[in-house]
Amino acid sequence: MLLLAPMEGLLDATLRDVLTRLGGVDRCTSEFIRVTNTLLPERAFIRVVPELLNGGRTAAGVPVRPQLLGSDPTLLAENAARLATLNPPGIDLNFGCPAKTVNNSRGGAILLDEPQLVGRIVAAVRRAVPAHIPVSAKMRLGYMDDAYAEENALAITDAGADELVIHARTKAQGYKPPAHWERIAQVAQALPAQRPVLIANGEIWNADDAQRCRAITGCEHLMLGRGQITDPGLAHQIDGGAPVPWARVVPLLPLFWARVSARVERRHRAGRLKQWLNYLRHRHPEAQQAFDELRLHHEPEAISAWIEQAQVRWGCPDEVPAETAQPC
């Protein structure tokens, strides 16, 4: 199983839609839905996870599991119960966000210094959600260090989580290489035989990385983040497929731009495309050219004109997902 990671401010419904069209991704997790001091209305869940209006799936049919973030077990349970009425393909809990603003409000990775609270949160949500809806959690190895890694994983296990994703770095380590895959293996050894499905995450940029991560962690299942954004064909390749060339990526650009134009304020639209191209250029030289050409363009009309020219310049492959073929 290959999962697409939640990445606040980047991997939203638009990019999930695009990245799941090339195949290989089995499930997505949404950006976090912050739970503070209120029971959220249904529209708050749908705003972050519009796929809930499509049976909880992207246009390509890939399930999307909404993720909740907060520190109050009762409030999280109440919101999870309401979210469950929208029939999501599962509910995920965030114990991994490293953002300072999130941690300062007792959300995300900072909770890993309180394993008992982590366990109470998972247990409360599990009790509040119908049994047929899976409950999962995503954690880092710890906050400032990994001293509580095993204790947190045990707390999540004992609370009844169905799956546990472990990002192989602490909050303090951020996204700085390397990912400490060996610690995932050590955490796994500390868990009972009846444990959640374990999923490894961190520094998987290519198929060789995936193979080494599986060998070191003992986890068959992986979560892909920046690697999948940089190379939209990564999951397909890990699954045994051929590398996806730039010609297969080009038809995704107008689709991405159309979704951005429909969902994002005008002044932020160009930045969203450049943000993705900034990742793509590390895998595709053509994306570097595109990034350079668009660097100084900010008006949506200029971006739209460039998109049309790109289709002519780079052409379209013979076989692309049906919806992405339309712009050509």
Q: How confident is the model at residue 9 (pLDDT cuts 50, 70, 90)?
A: confident
pLDDT at site 304 = 93
* Range of lowest pLDDT (147-151, 242-246, 252-256, 310-314): 310-314
Average confidence (pLDDT) over 111-118:
98
Overall domain count for the chain: 2
pLDDT at site 312 = 84
Question: What is the average pLDDT value for the chain, to the nearest integer?
Answer: 93
Do residues 255 and 223 lie in contact, with contact meaning Cβ atoms separated by under 8 Å? no
Average confidence (pLDDT) over 81-106:
95
- Out of 194, 209, 238, pick the residue that ends a domain: 238
- Out of 238, 269, 298, pick the residue that ends a domain: 238
Is 213 assigned a catalytic role? no
314 contacts: CB under 8 Å, gap ≥ 6: 246, 247, 250, 286
**pLDDT tens column, 262-286:** 989 999 999 999 999 999 999 999 9
**pLDDT tens column, 23-66:** 999 999 999 999 999 999 999 999 999 999 999 999 999 999 99
Query: What CATH number has the domain bearing residue 95?
Result: 3.20.20.70
Instruction: Give me the residues paired with residue 137 across strands.
Output: 93, 164
For residue 292, pLDDT over 70 is answered with yes
Average confidence (pLDDT) over 12-16:
96
DSSP 196: P
Question: Does residue 229 share a domain with residue 252?
Answer: no
Does the predicted TM-score (pTM) go above 0.85?
yes
Spot the catalytic one: 28, 97, 213, 219.
97
Question: Does residue 291 share a domain with residue 158?
Answer: no
pLDDT at site 63 = 98
Name the 3-class secondary structure at 135.
Answer: strand
Average confidence (pLDDT) over 109-114:
97
Question: Does residue 163 share a domain with residue 144?
Answer: yes
pLDDT at site 316 = 59
Question: Does residue 255 share a domain with residue 174?
Answer: no
pLDDT at site 251 = 92
Question: Does residue 298 share a domain with residue 201?
Answer: no
109 contacts: CB under 8 Å, gap ≥ 6: 95, 96, 97, 98, 103, 139, 140, 142, 143, 170, 171
Q: Which percentage of the chain shows pLDDT scores above 70?
A: 96
Neighbours of 82 (CB within 10 A): 15
Q: How confident is the model at residue 327 (pLDDT cuts 50, 70, 90)?
A: very low
- Out of 238, 264, 283, pick the residue that ends a domain: 238
Average confidence (pLDDT) over 181-197:
96
Question: Does residue 234 share a domain with residue 217?
Answer: yes
269 contacts: CB under 8 Å, gap ≥ 6: 257, 260, 261, 300, 303
Question: Does residue 202 share a domain with residue 297?
Answer: no
Question: Does residue 132 share a domain with residue 153?
Answer: yes
String of DSSP letters for 10-30 = TB-HHHHHHHGGGS---EEEE
Average confidence (pLDDT) over 191-217:
96
Round to whole Å and give the CA distance between 99 and 18. Answer: 26
pLDDT at site 66 = 98
Query: What CATH number has the domain bearing residue 266?
Result: 1.20.225.30
Question: Does residue 126 share a domain with residue 40?
Answer: yes
Question: Does residue 223 share a domain with residue 253?
Answer: no
Question: Does residue 303 share a domain with residue 156?
Answer: no
Question: Does residue 195 share a domain with residue 276?
Answer: no
The domain of 260 spans: 246-325
